[in-house]
């Protein structure tokens, strides 16, 4: 049975790499995909991984009907065997419904990849709809780690190095880069707003240095 699968995790846990691997293995067996993405760091119409691989993709702008796109390709004689969607958190909820329709009405597997929650620990609308509709939600096996060594479960946003919990939901960016950056943290340190930089600064603070006599 074809499935809608949501591969989910924090930033930097290997989602795009897995998306590229799935596409590579299937195309090696002659299967053809439509790859959708939205706002990839590498630019419009790209699906890129931090391991350096990149492939062409269809930019899923909010107006694009994903079901209609696939139907049109099939009706023009194109071959479509399965669908890959990266940065699925950025899709509008109607597009997630369209993905479910692709599975149910066109009998195609849909593999969607995305982060579940934003820097405020709130669900992205696209991810919420995926959790509601997916046949399976899979957590990636290569866990991203917090600076403390625990499994990273949350995404933090930093502005000028400071962790923030207010702002626009969508700001495209990378981990540890630019004015606006991101860092993955465990829940404990997300709650305490303690990034690796804050933790380093605290460790160096005279307040926590051992008091020596003499």
Ligand X SMILES: Nc1ncnc2c1ncn2[C@@H]1O[C@H](COP(=O)(O)OP(=O)(O)O)[C@@H](O)[C@H]1O
Q: Is 13 annotated as a binding residue?
A: yes
| Neighbour-count burial for 42-56, b at 16+ CB within 10 Å, e otherwise | eeeebbbbeeeeebe
Strands 180-185 and 109-115: unpaired
What does the alpha-carbon distance between residue 43 and residue 49 come to, in Å, rounded to a whole number? Answer: 12
Residue 31 or 171: the one with the smaller Cβ distance to ligand LXEULUCI is 171
Q: Is 148 annotated as a binding residue?
A: no
Q: Does 154 bind ligand X (CB under 6 A)?
A: no
Choice among 44, 56, 72, 87 that is catalytic: 87
Q: Does 16 bind ligand X (CB under 6 A)?
A: yes
**Per-residue CA distances from 62 to 104, 111, 112 (Å):** 22, 19, 16
- Could you tell me the smallest distance in angstroms from the CB atom of residue 49 to ligand X? 4
Q: Does 24 bind ligand X (CB under 6 A)?
A: no
Q: Does 23 bind ligand X (CB under 6 A)?
A: no
Please confirm, yes or no, whether 87 is among the known catalytic residues: yes
The total number of residues shown for the chain amounts to: 214
Sites of contact with ligand LXEULUCI (CB under 6 A)? 11-12, 15-16, 41, 115, 118-119, 155, 157, 169-173, 182
């Amino acid at each position: 049975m074809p499935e809608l699968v949501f591969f989910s995790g924090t930033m930097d846990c290997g989602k795009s790499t897995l998306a590229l691997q799935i596409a590579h293995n299937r195309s090696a067996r002659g299967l053809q995909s439509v790859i959708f993405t939205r706002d990839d760091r590498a630019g419009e119409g790209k699906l890129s991984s931090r391991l350096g691989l990149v492939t062409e993709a269809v930019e899923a702008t909010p107006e694009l009907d994903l079901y209609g796109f696939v139907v049109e390709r099939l009706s023009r004689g194109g071959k479509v065997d399965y669908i890959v969607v990266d940065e699925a958190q950025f899709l509008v909820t109607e597009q997630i419904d369209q993905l479910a329709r692709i599975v149910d009405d066109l009998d195609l597997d849909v593999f969607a990849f995305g982060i579940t929650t934003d820097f405020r620990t709130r669900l992205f609308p696209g991810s919420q709809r995926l959790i509601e509709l997916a046949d399976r939600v899979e957590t990636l096996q290569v866990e991203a780690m917090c600076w403390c060594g625990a499994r990273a479960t949350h995404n933090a946003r930093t502005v000028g190095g400071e962790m923030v919990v207010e702002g626009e939901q969508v700001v495209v960016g990378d981990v540890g880069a630019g004015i606006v950056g991101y860092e993955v943290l465990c829940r404990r340190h997300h709650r305490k707003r303690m990034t690796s930089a804050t933790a380093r600064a605290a460790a160096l603070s005279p307040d926590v240095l051992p008091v020596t006599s003499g």
